[in-house]
Structures are given as C-alpha cells and as structure tokens.
C-alpha cells in the first residue's frame, strides 16, 4: 500500500519538475537567435506608471513598433523598485542579466564600478545618435566624470514644490520664492487641531531623505565627496542643510510627526492629493499619483524647491531620473545599441513622456507630461538649469543608504519627542561617513 | 480533578487574554479585507463603512496574484513531497541500521539547523550560477532552484522527528516482516511507515509551512516568472497607493489553505513534534 | 501533503520494483548509505558547501568592484573580521548594537512565548466544553504564513490609522498622545509582540503534548495528599515537562535569534535602530552596500556564537547529541 503513495509522490515530483522547467524557460534567457532577423533582446524596465501592469501596457506598443522597424524582438520584464536593486545585484554577480535595463540614474557610478556594464565609448555613442542630443546635465549622470559613461539618460525627473492653489488663495499667500517664504506659508496653513499641515515629508524614506540632504547641502555650497572621492559628510554646509530640512518638523512644526513613518514618497503625495496638506516636495512623476487620487490638473501649481534667501547656490533638485544601461556580456551588442537609440529618440521620448510623467532628456524636446504649460516650464527649467547630479563616485550607493538612514533616525527622534541639535546631526553624519570609509 | 474555583478563574483569565491577543489581528485582517479603500486609508474603525467584496476581486488585477499562487503551490508541494520522501529514507537508516558515520551524519545534519540563512544566501546563489554555467541547469529564477533550496530547509528537523518516531516502533514488527519474506525496504513500507503515519503527516505539514512562508531566499532568488506569494504581496504598495484592503484580502486568501491543512492535522503535528522529546 | 498523495492512486508498477530491491545480494551493508545519499547530497549542496564558500567569502574583499568577477577578489585576511569587531568604528559599533538588540529580543520573546504557552497548556489540561475549539483558535497564528500575520500587524501598528492606537487612545483612553510603534524606541516592543504572537502557539502546542503524557492519577494522588494547584504544577507538571522544555527552549532560541522575516516584513526599508535584528542587519550590510565579504564575516561570527551557545546549553543540560 505504502509504495503506491511513493509512486504517486514520484509522479507528482516529476510533474512538478517539468512544470518548473517550463517556468524556467521563460525567465529571460538572452541567448536567443544568432543572426539577422530573429534576435531577441531581454529588457528590464523599472516601474514608472501606476502599476507594473500599467507599465507593461504602455511599453508593449512602443516595443512592438521597434520590432516592426528592426526585426529585433524585445522580451520585456517590468520590475518594481523594491526589487530592482537586488535584481541588478544578482544579475551582476551571476552574469545572467538582461541585455538592456533601466537603472535609477543615481546608481550609475556605483554600477559602473562593477565593470559589468557596457561603456558608451565614441563608437557606441555614435551608434545611439551621438552624445550631443542629450541635455548635458542629464548625460553627466551616466557615470564617473572623465570615464565613458555606462548609462545614458532615459526619463528625466526633477523635484518641485507642489502647492494647493485654493489653500494658498484662501490664506492670501503667494507661491514661495525663498525657503523663508515657504516656511512662513507652511506655518500659516498648519493647524494640527484640524489635522491640516503645511507640508508632507517622506521622512521615513531613506532614499527621499538623502536627496534632501544633498539638495539642502548643495544650497549651502557644500559637497558630500571631495575631488579624490573621499566623503566630506560632516562639513558645516551639509550639517546645516540637513538640520534645516529636519527643522521643518522640529522647529517650524509644519509637518505632521507621523510623516516620520512615511517610508515612500507615495504617502506624502497622497496627503497632498487628498488635500490634507498644502505643499509637498516631490519629483514631477507625482502628477500621475495626484490625479489618480482625485485632484485635478489646475488645482495645484509648482515652483522650484526654494533655497534660503541670499543662498550662494540655487540648486532646486538633483538630476533625478532613469538611465538606460547595456550589460557588457550581451550577445546582441548591436541590437542593444539600436534599442537604446530607439528608446532615446525624439518620437519615443514624446510617446512615453506623458504616461510616465517624465521630462525629456533631449536638448530640444518639449515636456509633454502635463497640459499645464507653467508647470512644464518650471520643471524643465529646474531640470536643465537648477539641478546637480548626486555625487558621481562609486560609493554613491553607500552615501544614499548611510546618510538616508541617519536622517530616518533623526526624524524618528524628533517625531517621538526628542531634540536634534546641529551636534547630533554632525555625530550622525560622522557615523555615516565612517561606515562609508570602512566599506571602501 | 482540578476543577477548583481558583483554577476556573485562572482558566477564564488566561483564555480571555490570550483569546483577545490572538483574535484581534485576525479580526482586523478579515474586516479590513471587506472595507473600501477610503476606509483603510483613514482612521481605523472596527466595522466597515459599507461591506464590499471588491478587494477580493481587485487583488487579482493589482498584482498577478494567481501566478504567484501557482508558483507557491508548485514549489511548496513538490518541495514537501521530496523532503518527506528523503527524510523517510534517511530517518529509516538512522533508526534501524548501525553503520560508520551515523553519529557524524546526525550531528552535522542537526547543526545545519543553526546556520543563519544570510550566511549561505549569496554563496548558494553563486553555486547555482556555476551549476548553470557548467551543466546548463537553470536554478536561479526558476521554481526548480526554489524547490531544491526549500526542501533542505525542513530536512534536518524532519529527519530528527521521523527518526524519533521510528525508534518508538518496536523492532519485533520489522523482524516479523522480514520473516514474511520482505526485505528491509518492504519492512519500511509495510510496517514502519504505516505505524509512523502521524509523524509523516506532521513532517509534511512542517515542510509545507516552511516553504510556503519563506521570505529571505525568495527575496533574492525569484524573478517575475517564479515569484512566490511571500514576496509578491509586497507589490500591493505601488507607486500610487498602498492598497491595504487588498493586502488583507490577499493575506487572508493565501493563508486559508495552510491554516486549514494545519488545523485538520494538528493532532498528528502535536504527536510528531514531541516524538523525539517525550519518551 | 502525505494525505494528498494517498488519495492519488497509482495502480500499477508497484510490485516489480519492490521485488528487485529485495533480492539483490550484498545490498544490506550498503543500504544505509544509499538511504542517506539523497539527504547527504542535498545537505552538501544547500548547506555545507555554501557555508564553506561563505567562510571563504569572509576572507576576501568582495565589494562591488569584484562582484562581477568574484573569483578575482583579492584576499583580505582577517580584515573583514577586524572591521566587524572593532567596536570603536561605525561598522563594529553598529554590529554590536544590533547584537545587543537581538539578545534582548530573543530572550524576551522566548520567555514570554514560553510563559503564554505554559499558561494556556495548563488551562487546557483538564477537559471542558469547547476545549478543542479554543485549542484550534490558539494555533491559528502559528499556522498563518509568517508574512501574512506580520503584514496585518504592520497595518495595526500604523500611528494614525492603526488598530493598536485606536484601542489605546480612543477606546481605552490610556494616553492622549498617539505613540509611534514602528519607529523610535517602541519598535523593539512591537517586534517582540509580533514575534510572540506568531511563536507562542508553538510553545503551547509542544507543552500541551507533553502534558498529555502525564497520567491523571498522579495529580489525583497529589490532590489526596492536599497539594494545591500551584504545588501540583511545581512538583508534578514542571519536572515531567523537563525533556520537552529542554528541546523547546533551544528551538525557540535558535528561531528567534536568527529571525529575519519579522523585521524584514514589519519594517521594510525603514528599519529603526531599536528593531535592527542581527540577520536583518547583516542582510542590509551585504546588499545595501554591496560588501559581501564583510557581511560574510559577520555571518560567520554569528554562527560561531550560536554554536557556542548551543554547545554550552547541551553540555549543561547533559543531553549532548543523543538525538535521533
């Protein structure tokens, strides 16, 4: 009797294994066709739309057109942000990656250091249409200065200060031009008793926090790494910049302490869209979320994220966005470059600009992500003239995680009733700096 | 015997406190899964503003839950079947034979229970990559890789538990089977296994639950094609929203098969878990 | 799952294979090894060899510069270890803090789970109406897949929209200021609560099984001698449960000490220092900063610690590796 169940078990096992093998065959094996017409590229796209499915819907016709033009098939996988970094890591480690993939552009220098990605040398650059077509600051994010970049810009993003027009009008306020005006306006619009706040911050998200550490530091004229790539986290400008941002919750009290739990930008944008807060600082892809949560275009305006009055530097954003990379060990280098060229040409940029709420990375292109001309102009101006790339050093990823998490901790301390002084900020940044130094 | 007043009061207190501790999260899970999205985004309420089954409908669309369900089911079932079969053979050897290396085997296998998963996560990944490069068996990003990994997770505990169970079955029964003309395998199949049925069931449940709930390796070893529920549920927090009602609905649905299976067979599990210890 | 396979009858082809196995001469000496072979091969592949590779990794400089070509990573000697145990620098200090948090988490979770499990097992020892329903209910948190239960707790522990603060502030009025549960100092308490919720049923289950093996008449005899409930528990129940407890405590310790799921699912990317359990800490040290050599060194240290504790525990309790 018992043996029967063994045999049954074995049968089930065999069935399962064959199913498993089926599962494996569609998991992005890039060694498809050899020559000519039936090449297949594997492409990992990042999540830009409202869901992974939405991305797939948007990209599929675009990829089909590419296949029709060139005969090269594209095998698409959309990967959420929670998984993208791990997936890139495992692909780098194993050498089993896609042919082409999206990366967060801030990772570019770190990923370049792995040596797993194809440098865009002169030939490759020519093959994708020449480097002159890109906005120069956008292209600068492609890798370490002075080396051939290992990624090129695909979708441009920039921070802006979103404000609720009706709330501002009701309080007789003008959109802020300086940090001080922003704080004053926010204080006027804050009424904890009515559960309304001047601003929402993604204060529990280390990736958001680190961007503001960077931007506020830059407004003070400070850098996070010196010319030799050594961290300079504890310089006065950085400490004061971080403290200024923390003070929105601590001293100015214009943000709900609950924001310390907001572990992604979505939550603060939702508060803005549902009119619980008057302002939010976010990248321009917030547009799709804002609209999805019930606010109409025209109900909000956007101005550059302001620097303090008399600040030496008017940086309003880092050069945010998504870059496109090619894996060095691709078997289809020419096809991959053709694909990069296609994704970064003017037509495709226009097609994708709207659904993904992205800024064009091409010099002469017009933004199409919004019908609000003033908003479009503001973001394009920030992106092209008021933004600075995050540090282009291999340790950039460590900078993000250590400084970002240090800020998470400081916000948590403020939210739970603690006091954070400049010395506390300095000590936290010193720890972050030591971690980066020990890791390199 | 101990139906004194004091004991009854003690029992009432313990059952109330623990009952609430267990029930409140389950209650929140169930009611939240019946709430419209606006309810779960606002302040908590004990009862939905209106009951809706939409989360149970929408959850299949927001995330490809059906595919993750299939992946988890195949991976867990196959890993369980293999793990139980292998554990039975090994436990039989350990329980019924005296051979060189027996104690080395048992000690080593048991001590692997202690290995922190993070220690061998990346090495295992590298080994899988090398296997793929040298003999062409794709283990990264496939169900096969997950199956092989998960089945070993429950193996040490399963062997230990079953060996304890087998020990408790009198050897005279094996000998009777041998006299009847069975070989050792016949004795295993005809005598030992039927007697150890509760232990086998317990081990199977344990293996299944281990595979169904594994998170660490799934977070690194899965791609879109073999993603399991344990990591798939995270995708309900998207770029635009955190769909708490759908998360709760999905959590409920993925829990039901395991919970029912476990509760149906809990008696055997109790007996199996303690087989090695209570004697 | 054995139940499922039972129901799938495979009618033919059972007998020949059995006869073939029986009649082969000289097999019986090799048989135990053949029986062990699948288990040994898999244990080698998934546990032993990766562990050895992990130890090798802890001695090389496996950073992002070498991860794509890891066989060329330069030898680091004991450097990774030196950094990990240098408690004056940031990395070592972080590891030490995380270790401290983990010890506290592990001991408190273990103690509470055991106490709750024991309390419930004793309460359910004498039969009463509805006993099996209560027992079933108590087992649900353990049967639930870990991530499903933890996600629910994450939802409940939100500051503004969570059930926990609703109960504490609105329903009970214990405090007017809504506490944070997932950041700041309360994070450890939250972590322990969630871990206990998932784990205490296992203690309950095991202890309950142990109680069943105690004959009723022992209690009756004690009651005749005038022993009250508490003395009965101390003089009969506790000693009888000793073998169960020895295993239970060790298993609970090993599980809680290397718990990854709870912090990972509960905190996501925003883990607070008070909830920085060691496996989660090592995972982040490896994957966020791409320093796998350093992560491996920390893992090896963790393994050594667990081995020492387990070894000492087994020696002290005099059980050694009698098992199986």
Asked if A27 reaches chain B (Cβ–Cβ under 8 Å), the answer is yes
Please say if the pLDDT value at position A9 is more than 80.
no
- Residue C323 confidence class, pLDDT cut points 50, 70, 90: very low
Please say if the pLDDT value at position C324 is more than 70.
no
Average pLDDT, chain A: 87
- pLDDT for residue C28: 65
Asked if A147 reaches chain C (Cβ–Cβ under 8 Å), the answer is no
Residues of C in contact with A5 (CB under 8 A): 2, 5-6
Residue of B1, B25, B40 with shortest CB distance to C126: B1
Q: Please, which residues bridge with residue A162 across strands?
A: A280, A302
pLDDT digits (tens, 9 = 90+) for B24-66: 999 999 999 999 988 888 889 899 988 999 999 988 888 889 9
Q: Is C185 in Cβ contact with A416 (below 8 Å)?
A: yes
Asked whether B276 and C244 are in contact (CB, 8 A), the reply is no
Task: Tell me the C-alpha distance between C139 and B263, whole Å.
Answer: 8
Asked if A1 reaches chain B (Cβ–Cβ under 8 Å), the answer is yes
Please say if the pLDDT value at position C19 is more than 70.
no
- pLDDT for residue C71: 79
Sign of CA dihedral C151, C155, C158, C162: negative
Helix (H, G, I), strand (E, B) or coil at C22: helix
pTM of the model: 0.87
Task: Tell me the C-alpha distance between B223 and A90, whole Å.
Answer: 10
- pLDDT for residue C1: 27
Specify the pairing of strand A40-46 against strand A100-104.
parallel
DSSP A198-263: EEE--TT-HHHHHHHHHHHHHHTT--SB-TTS-B-TTSHHHHHHHHHHHHTTTTS--B-GGGGG--
Closest approach of chain C CAs to the CA of A14, in angstroms?
Answer: 13
pLDDT digits (tens, 9 = 90+) for B240-263: 677 889 999 999 999 998 898 888
- Residue A2 confidence class, pLDDT cut points 50, 70, 90: very low
Residue C320 burial by CB count (10 A; 0-12/13-18/19+): exposed, middle or buried? exposed
- pLDDT for residue B278: 40
- Residue B272 confidence class, pLDDT cut points 50, 70, 90: low
Residue of A nearest to B129 (CA): A94
- Residue B238 confidence class, pLDDT cut points 50, 70, 90: low
Please say if the pLDDT value at position A26 is more than 70.
no
Closest approach of chain C CAs to the CA of B71, in angstroms?
Answer: 15
Asked whether A182 and A380 are in contact (CB, 8 A), the reply is no
Which residues numbered 226-265 in C keep a CB inside 8 Å of some CB on A? none
Helix (H, G, I), strand (E, B) or coil at B36: coil
- Residue B274 confidence class, pLDDT cut points 50, 70, 90: low
Range in A71-80, B167-176, C87-96, C133-142 with the lowest mean pLDDT: B167-176
Which residues numbered 42-81 in B keep a CB inside 8 Å of some CB on A? 61-64, 71, 74-75, 77-78, 81
Q: What Å distances lie between residue A240 and A265, A273, B165, CA to CA? A: 23, 31, 67
Q: Which residues lie below 8 Å from residue C108, measured CB to CB, with a gap of 6+?
A: C192
Residues of A in contact with C290 (CB under 8 A): 89, 110, 397
Specify the pairing of strand A387-388 against strand A317-318.
parallel
Average pLDDT, chain B: 86
Q: Is C148 in Cβ contact with B233 (below 8 Å)?
A: yes
Residues of B in contact with C219 (CB under 8 A): 1-2
Asked if B173 reaches chain A (Cβ–Cβ under 8 Å), the answer is no
Three-state secondary structure string covering A116-179: CECCCCHHHHHHCCCHHHECHHHHHCCCCCCCCCCEEEEEEECEEEEEEHHHHHHCCCCCCCCH
Instruction: Check residues B79 and B276 and name the one with the higher pLDDT.
Output: B79
pLDDT digits (tens, 9 = 90+) for B106-158: 888 888 888 888 888 888 988 888 888 888 888 888 899 999 999 999 898 88
Residue of C2, C64, C294 with shortest CB distance to A394: C64
Q: Is C307 in Cβ contact with B3 (below 8 Å)?
A: no
Interface test with A, best of C35, C184, C185 (most A CBs within 10 A): C184
Residue showing tokens 């120069």? A136
- pLDDT for residue A5: 47
Closest approach of chain B CAs to the CA of A332, in angstroms?
Answer: 19
Task: Tell me the C-alpha distance between C152 and C194, whole Å.
Answer: 10
Q: Is B226 in Cβ contact with A27 (below 8 Å)?
A: yes
Residues of C in contact with B253 (CB under 8 A): none
Instruction: Check residues C173 and C9 and name the one with the higher pLDDT.
Output: C173
Q: Is B184 in Cβ contact with C43 (below 8 Å)?
A: no
Average pLDDT, chain C: 84
Task: Tell me the C-alpha distance between C112 and C130, whole Å.
Answer: 25
Residues of C in contact with B26 (CB under 8 A): 140-141, 152
Task: Tell me the C-alpha distance between B3 and B9, whole Å.
Answer: 10
DSSP A359-404: B--BTTPPP-S-S-HHHHHHHHHHHHHSEEPPP-STTHHHHHHHHH
- pLDDT for residue B208: 92
Q: Residue B4: phi, psi to the nearest 5? A: -75, 165
Closest approach of chain C CAs to the CA of B28, in angstroms?
Answer: 8
Q: Is B241 in Cβ contact with A270 (below 8 Å)?
A: yes
- Neighbours, chain C (3 or more CB pairs < 8 A): A, B
Residues of C in contact with B112 (CB under 8 A): 43, 47-48, 51
Instruction: Check residues A265 and A209 and name the one with the higher pLDDT.
Output: A209
Closest approach of chain C CAs to the CA of B206, in angstroms?
Answer: 10
pLDDT digits (tens, 9 = 90+) for A338-386: 999 999 999 999 999 988 889 999 988 888 888 888 999 999 999 989 9
Residue of B81, B147, B240 with shortest CB distance to A9: B81
Residue of B74, B193, B220 with shortest CB distance to A20: B74
Asked whether B35 and B245 are in contact (CB, 8 A), the reply is yes
Asked if A93 reaches chain B (Cβ–Cβ under 8 Å), the answer is yes
Instruction: Check residues A308 and B183 and name the one with the higher pLDDT.
Output: A308
pLDDT digits (tens, 9 = 90+) for C186-227: 999 999 999 999 999 999 988 988 888 788 888 888 888 888
Residues of B in contact with C235 (CB under 8 A): none
């Amino acid at each position: 009797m018992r043996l029967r169940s063994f045999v049954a078990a074995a049968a089930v096992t065999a069935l399962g294994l064959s199913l498993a093998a089926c599962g494996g065959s569609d998991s992005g094996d890039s060694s498809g066709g050899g020559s000519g017409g039936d090449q297949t590229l594997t492409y990992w796209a990042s999540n830009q739309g409202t869901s992974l499915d939405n991305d797939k819907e948007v990209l599929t016709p675009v990829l089909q057109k590419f296949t029709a033009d060139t005969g090269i098939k594209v095998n698409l996988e959309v990967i959420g942000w929670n998984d993208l970094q791990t997936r890139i890591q495992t692909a780098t480690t194993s050498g089993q990656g896609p042919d082409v993939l999206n990366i967060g552009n801030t990772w570019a220098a770190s990923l370049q250091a792995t040596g797993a990605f194809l440098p865009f040398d002169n030939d490759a650059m020519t093959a994708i249409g020449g480097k002159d077509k890109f906005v120069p600051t956008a292209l600068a994010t492609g890798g370490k200065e002075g080396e051939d970049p290992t990624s090129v810009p695909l979708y441009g993003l920039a921070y802006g200060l979103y404000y609720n027009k009706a709330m501002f009008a009701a309080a007789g306020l003008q959109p802020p031009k300086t940090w001080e005006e922003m704080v004053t306006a926010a204080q006027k619009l804050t009424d904890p008793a009515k559960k309304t706040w001047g601003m929402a911050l993604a204060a529990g998200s280390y990736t958001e926090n680190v961007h503001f550490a960077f931007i506020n530091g830059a407004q003070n004229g400070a850098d996070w790494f010196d010319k030799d790539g050594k961290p300079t986290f504890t310089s006065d400008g950085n400490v004061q910049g971080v403290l200024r941002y923390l003070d929105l919750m601590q001293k100015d009290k214009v943000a709900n302490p609950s924001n310390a739990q907001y572990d992604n930008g979505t939550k603060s944008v939702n508060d803005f869209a549902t009119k619980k807060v008057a302002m939010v600082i976010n990248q321009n892809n917030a547009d799709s979320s804002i609209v999805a949560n019930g606010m109409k275009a025209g109900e909000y305006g956007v101005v550059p994220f302001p620097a303090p009055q008399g600040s030496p530097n008017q940086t309003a954003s880092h050069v945010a966005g998504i870059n496109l990379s090619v894996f060095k060990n691709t078997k289809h280098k020419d096809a991959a470059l053709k694909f990069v060229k296609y994704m970064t040409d003017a037509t495709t940029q226009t097609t994708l600009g709207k659904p993904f709420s992205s800024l064009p990375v091409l010099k002469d292109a017009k933004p199409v992500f919004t019908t609000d001309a003033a908003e479009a102009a503001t973001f394009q101006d920030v992106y092209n003239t008021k933004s600075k790339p995050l540090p282009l050093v291999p340790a950039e990823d460590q900078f993000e995680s250590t400084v970002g998490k240090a800020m998470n901790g400081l916000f948590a301390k403020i939210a739970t009733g603690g006091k954070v002084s400049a010395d506390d900020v300095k000590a936290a940044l010193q720890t972050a700096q030591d971690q980066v130094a020990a890791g390199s | 015997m101990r139906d004194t007043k004091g004991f009854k009061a003690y029992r009432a207190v313990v059952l109330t406190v623990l009952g609430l501790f267990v029930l409140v999260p389950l209650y929140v899970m169930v009611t939240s899964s019946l709430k419209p999205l606006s309810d779960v985004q606002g302040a908590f309420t004990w009862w939905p503003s209106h009951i809706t089954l939409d989360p149970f409908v929408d959850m299949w669309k927001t995330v490809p839950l059906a595919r993750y369900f299939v992946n988890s089911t195949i991976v867990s079932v196959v890993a369980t079947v293999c793990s139980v079969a292998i554990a039975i053979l090994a436990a039989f050897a350990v329980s019924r034979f005296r051979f060189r290396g027996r104690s080395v085997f048992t000690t080593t296998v048991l001590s692997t229970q202690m290995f922190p998963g993070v220690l061998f996560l990346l090495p295992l990944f590298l080994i899988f990559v090398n296997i793929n490069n040298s003999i062409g068996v794709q283990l990264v990003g496939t169900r096969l890789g997950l199956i092989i990994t998960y089945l070993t997770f429950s193996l040490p505990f399963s062997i230990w538990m079953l060996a304890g169970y087998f020990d408790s079955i009198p050897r005279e029964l094996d000998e009777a089977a041998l006299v009847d003309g069975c070989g050792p395998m016949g004795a295993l199949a005809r005598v030992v296994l039927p007697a150890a049925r509760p232990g086998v069931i317990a081990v199977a449940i344990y293996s299944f639950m281990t595979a169904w709930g594994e998170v660490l390796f799934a977070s690194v070893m899965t791609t879109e094609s073999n993603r399991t529920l344990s990591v798939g549920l995270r995708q309900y927090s998207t770029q635009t929203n955190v769909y708490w009602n759908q998360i709760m609905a999905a959590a409920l649905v993925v829990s039901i098969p395991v919970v029912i299976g476990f509760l149906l067979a809990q008696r055997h599990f109790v007996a199996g878990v303690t087989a090695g210890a209570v004697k | 799952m054995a139940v499922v396979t039972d129901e799938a009858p495979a009618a033919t082809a059972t007998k020949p294979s059995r006869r073939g196995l029986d009649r082969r001469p000289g097999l019986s000496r090799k048989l135990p090894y053949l029986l062990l072979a699948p288990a040994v091969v898999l244990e080698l592949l998934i546990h032993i060899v990766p562990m050895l590779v992990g130890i090798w990794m802890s001695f090389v400089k496996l950073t992002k510069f070498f991860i794509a070509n890891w066989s060329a990573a330069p030898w680091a000697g004991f450097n990774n270890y030196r950094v990990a145990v240098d408690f004056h620098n940031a990395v070592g200090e972080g590891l030490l803090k995380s270790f401290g948090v983990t010890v506290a988490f592990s001991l408190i979770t273990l103690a509470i789970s055991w106490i709750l499990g024991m309390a419930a097992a004793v309460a359910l020892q004498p039969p009463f109406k509805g006993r099996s329903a209560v027992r079933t209910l108590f087992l649900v948190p353990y049967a639930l897949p870990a991530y499903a239960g933890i996600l629910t707790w994450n939802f409940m522990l939100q500051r503004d929209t969570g059930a926990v603060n609703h109960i504490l502030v609105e329903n009970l009025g214990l405090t007017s200021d809504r506490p944070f549960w997932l950041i700041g100092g309360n994070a450890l308490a939250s972590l322990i609560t969630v871990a206990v919720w998932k784990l205490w049923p296992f203690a309950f289950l095991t202890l309950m099984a142990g109680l069943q093996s105690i004959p009723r008449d022992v209690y009756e005899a004690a009651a005749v001698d005038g022993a009250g409930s508490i003395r009965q528990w101390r003089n009969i129940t506790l000693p009888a449960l000793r073998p169960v407890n020895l295993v239970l405590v060790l298993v609970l310790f090993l599980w809680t000490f290397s718990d990854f799921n709870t912090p990972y699912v509960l905190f996501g990317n925003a883990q607070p220092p008070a909830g920085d359990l060691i496996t989660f800490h090592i995972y982040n040290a490896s994957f966020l900063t791409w320093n796998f050599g350093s992560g491996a060194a920390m893992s090896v240290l963790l393994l050594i610690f667990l081995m020492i504790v387990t070894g000492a525990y087994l020696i002290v309790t005099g059980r050694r590796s009698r098992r199986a």
